[in-house]
Amino acid sequence: MGKHALLSASSSHRWLSCPPSARLCADGEDKGSEYARQGTDAHILCEYKLKKMLGMDCDDPTESLSFYDEEMEECADGYAGFVVEQLSKAKEICTDPVVLIEQKLDFSKYVCEGFGTGDCVIVADGTVSVIDYKHGLGVLVSAENNPQMMCYALGALELFDGIYDVDTVSMTIYQPRRENISTFIISKAELIQWAETVLVPTAKLAYAGEGEFKAGEHCQFCKVKATCRKRMEYNMELARYDFEMPATLSEEEIAVILTKVDELSAWAEDVKEYALTQALAGTKYTGFKVVEGRSNRKYTDETKVAAVVSDAGFDPYEKEVAGITAMQKLLGKKKFEELLGSLVYKPQGKPTLVPESDKRSAMNTAIEDFSEN
């Protein structure tokens, strides 16, 4: 197990928003999720693909990856290609740019014991570029004013600012499963000003376990999110709305609810999950009990089932066309496009209500469609 920083770059969004959460999370149990393990595998594959593309010595880790699949392969190839493209652009303005892969970045000049690992750093005359791979599908990650990326950039400046004449910092999130490539560019002076006026004073509070608790979307990866009183108070503000009489809610009131309903739902699920874990361990909650949930019937041995049904004169197998991912793997990308490119389409996604800050284009509503006719 590697050392984990109390004030890591990866958790900076949380502890910058809620300083005392840093110490609470440090004392909490680290339960690695399946999504986190999948992300780790993806990063290992990305590192290999990039090193291979750059002609570096490296061993293929595929057989040791628990979550490897065709999609992860494509994502890693895309990431490696993107980094090489950025390196080529750097070579246009600098004869000897440096590329660092999985580099430890120390920003302890600003944050006590602060360090993290940058997926890729490209350093050239004038610019430091930090690229971070995100394999997650659930949360769209933006590079704009992203504190994790800004901490990484500070660490990169500490390594190279005296060697290269750096005045600009570029930070990019590469999130292929969300078709998201987000880049944020600021001057070195702006980054250092943020570090001195925001990062340093807040980090001091967080390291000391001081400051005010604050609930918000940054609670998502907090280890005490299920039992945090501040988060409970924040979400229970919705209780003042009378859900028994939805017709009495104005459009303005519904808009207020919409801004909080996702966090409210997430908080409720976190509390339920925590309570179930505690109940299974013996905790008694007044008015509740643990029961066996629904389950579906399963065969004890599918091979024997197929043999018995075949012997009885029936076909035990369902026949259907392979899915697009499986078919592409069977044929190969080039052959797939050649044979089936004209037979594949992407249907319109289900309408979803999101905040205006979402970068996706708005769909026409029924009223807008009518007004255009």
Q: How does pLDDT run across 238-291, given as a tens digit for each residue?
A: 656 555 455 567 788 778 778 777 777 888 888 888 888 888 888 888 888 888
C-beta atoms surrounding 161 within 10 Å: 16
What pLDDT, on a 0 to 100 scale, did the predictor assign at position 293? 80
- If 0-12 CB within 10 Å is exposed, 13-18 middle and 19+ buried, where does residue 150 land? buried
What pLDDT, on a 0 to 100 scale, did the predictor assign at position 2? 45
Q: What domains sit in the chain, N to C, each tagged with a CATH number?
A: 12-208 (3.90.320), 225-280 (no CATH)
- For every residue of 265-318, DSSP letters joined together read HHHHHHHHHHHHHHHHTT---TT------------S-HHHHHHHHHHTT-----
Contact 311/53 with Cβ under 8 angstroms?
A: no
CA gap 150, 199 in Å, rounded: 10
What pLDDT, on a 0 to 100 scale, did the predictor assign at position 113? 87
What pLDDT, on a 0 to 100 scale, did the predictor assign at position 326? 81
- Assessment of whether the complete model's pTM goes beyond 0.75: no
275's CB contacts (< 8 A; 6+ apart) are 226, 283, 285, 288
What pLDDT, on a 0 to 100 scale, did the predictor assign at position 65? 93
Per-residue pLDDT of the chain (373 residues; tens, 9 = 90+): 345 678 989 889 999 999 989 988 887 666 667 888 999 999 999 999 999 999 999 999 999 999 998 899 999 999 999 999 999 999 988 888 899 999 999 999 999 988 889 999 999 888 999 999 999 888 889 999 999 999 999 999 998 877 778 899 999 999 999 889 999 999 999 999 999 999 999 999 999 989 999 888 888 888 888 888 888 887 777 656 555 455 567 788 778 778 777 777 888 888 888 888 888 888 888 888 888 888 888 899 999 999 999 999 999 998 888 888 788 888 888 898 999 999 998 888 788 777 777 777 787 765 555 555 5
What pLDDT, on a 0 to 100 scale, did the predictor assign at position 372? 54
What pLDDT, on a 0 to 100 scale, did the predictor assign at position 267? 80
What pLDDT, on a 0 to 100 scale, did the predictor assign at position 371? 53
- Among 212, 199, 109, 214, CA closest to 145: 199
CA gap 30, 222 in Å, rounded: 10
What pLDDT, on a 0 to 100 scale, did the predictor assign at position 189? 95
Q: Which two tokens stand for residue 113?
A: 């014991």
What pLDDT, on a 0 to 100 scale, did the predictor assign at position 349? 78
What pLDDT, on a 0 to 100 scale, did the predictor assign at position 238? 63
As a whole-number percent, the residues of the chain with pLDDT over 70 amount to 92
What pLDDT, on a 0 to 100 scale, did the predictor assign at position 41? 95
Question: Which H helix or E strand runs over 106?
Answer: strand 98-106
Q: Do the bridges between strand 98-106 and strand 126-133 make them parallel or antiparallel, or are there none, so unpaired?
A: unpaired
